[in-house]
Amino acid sequence: MPPADPPDPAVAAWDDGYNNGLDALLARAFGVSDGYRELNGILDSIDANLYEELGLADSPMLVVIPGLREMIESKGLERKSLEALFTALPGNFELRAWVEKYVPDLLPKVSPEAFEVAKPAYDRDRLERRVRALRRDLSALGPQLQLSAADKQVARDLINRLAGLNSYKNIHDALHDLQMRVMTEFARVASDKISGDERSASVSLQLQEMELIIDRIKGQFEDDGAVPAAIQGRDDVLASIRRIMDLISTRDPAERSTAETAAGLLRSLLRVQMSFFDSRLVEASEQIPFSKFAQTIASLNQPNIPKPEPKADPILLENVSNGIEGVAYRLNNRQRAHRLWQRTEAEILSIEELLGGTGREIEVGIHWDNIKALLNEIMPLSADLNIAKLLATTNMDLALSPDPAVVRSPAFRDAFMGFGRLARVFYQRADVALVDDCTQLRRLQDPLQLLL
């Protein structure tokens, strides 16, 4: 008698309670604007239907997904449905990680190259559509909800925290412009190849640019909910920029030393202030009470709000609550990755300082080991396959007690400097991703006001 076929891991994965987290993962994936329609389109490809067959088109997404699981199991569509979902969402890093762990034979259906191409657009699409769904639902539900004074205070706190986050993001952007446009131009015209007339005109223009940047920063934290520490941080950076402007204004703009001084002073200022506001941006995002607000929304009574057409997303308090939780989940991953990158940067700086001195080679090995551990923590949060390549391609797998001759060799120094530059590119990507998310979250403030 031939041996029985081994059990299909796709069947086992679907049958295991909440699918080892797949239910929540799919609820996040489709808990976005037009998510019901998108899910139904995928189901159509395996001859299933969310609307006619399941009858759950008016249910919360967290009810739809378990109902879908029951139908899939009853029809024996476990593998077919997983393949359809996986190939339809090639940029979903959570789903990819789940497939890799539980049904790895499906992984070749979406190549690493296809995943890398699809992931950035998928990330942007999901947050934009989640925010769009929340804006629509809050705008429709807000006028019909009766919130207690305590519930309104939760909503007010959320609004104020989002406003503070947006102010930190705007100062972050203004300082980035100060670095990339003004400081860079001062450094350019400090060259002895630039004529005095060109330098004079450029210095005058950069002082005007700095005035505009001051105005941008000055307009932040002006709402009633701004905390004193945030206002003080804003005023401190304004005073620092103004001092540099006042000094440069008293010097001959045609002299190289004027541009050199301006570039040097701005470099010193930005080294401190960009790090400060970068940290404050992360802290502000961590203090937004998303979970508390989600609980508040979930505790309210659902008003009867008809859908504009049968296949439109239902307007449900539970979907709003879950959508807020989805925002918090994503933002938490961004925050954790950012914190880990900050620690990685500190380890890189420590090695760079050690390479500039003599002795203490054992510390280089310890810091390098810390860097590897941090990058391995970052990888599942960012799902960037290139981070793994960053570690794999470096020829610096040091022991904790490295050979001093190896550490002090020009080859090691050059390799590490190249690694550091590339790692900082990844750190910058993480920073941009967090800032982009903050930009989207700003769009929730106006519909939230309807709850007050």
Confidence check: pLDDT of 256 > 90: yes
- Please give the structure tokens belonging to residue 420: 């550091």
> CA nearest 327: which of 141, 133, 55?
133
**pLDDT exceeds 60 at position 1:** no
Give yes or no for residue 409 having a pLDDT over 90.
Answer: no
DSSP three-state, residue 399: coil
Question: What pLDDT band is residue 430 in, cutting at 50, 70 and 90?
Answer: confident
pLDDT in tens, 182-206: 999 999 999 999 999 999 999 999 9
When mean pLDDT is compared across 156-170, 237-251, 267-281, 380-394, the lowest value belongs to 380-394
Q: Which residues contact 186 (CB under 8 A, 6 or more apart)?
A: 202, 203, 206, 259, 260, 262, 263, 266
DSSP H helices in 103-193: 112-141, 149-177, 184-189
Q: Is the pLDDT higher at 414 or at 445?
A: 445
Residue 60 scores a pLDDT above 80: yes
Is 359's pLDDT higher than 80? no
Q: What is the mean pLDDT of residues 72-84?
A: 87
Res 89: pLDDT: 95
Say yes or no to pLDDT of 2 above 80. Answer: no
Give the pTM: 0.83
- Residue 158: CB atoms within 10 A of its CB come to 22
Q: Enter the tokens of residue 83.
A: 């393949």
Higher-confidence residue of 174 and 364: namely: 174
Q: What are the tens digits of pLDDT across the range 277-311?
A: 988 999 999 999 999 999 999 999 999 888 878 77
CB 363, CB 404: distance < 8 Å: no
- For the chain, the first-to-last Cα distance in angstroms comes to 72
- Has residue 394 got a pLDDT over 70? no
> Tell me, what's the pLDDT at 5?
66
Cα-trace Rg, the chain: 27
Q: Per-residue DSSP letters for 119-138?
A: HHHHHHHHHHHHHHHHHHHH
Spatial neighbors of 108 by CB under 8 A, at least 6 apart, are none
Mean pLDDT across 23-37: 91
Burial 411-444, CB ≥16 within 10 A → b, else e: ebeeebeebbeebeebbebbbebbbbbbeebbeb
Q: What is the pLDDT of residues 102-141, one digit of tens each?
A: 899 999 999 999 998 999 899 999 999 999 999 999 999 9
Question: Taking 60 as the threshold, does the pLDDT of residue 267 lie above it?
Answer: yes
Give the model's pLDDT for residue 104.
92
Q: How does residue 148 score in pLDDT terms, banded at 50, 70 and 90?
A: very high
- The per-residue pLDDT for 390 is 76
Q: What whole-number percentage of the chain has pLDDT above 90?
A: 50
Round the average pLDDT of the chain to a whole number and report it.
87
Among 72, 26, 25, 23, residue whose Cα is nearest residue 46: 72
Residue 183 DSSP code: I
Give the pLDDT confidence score for residue 22 in this predicted structure: 86
Distance CA 375, CA 394 (A): 13
pLDDT value of residue 264: 93
Q: According to the model, what pLDDT value does residue 361 have?
A: 76
pLDDT at 45 over 70: yes
- Per residue in 308-336, pLDDT (tens digit) is 787 788 999 999 999 999 999 899 989 99
Residue with the larger pLDDT of the pair 403 and 142? 142
pLDDT at residue number 51: 67
Asked if residue 387 has pLDDT above 90, the reply is: no
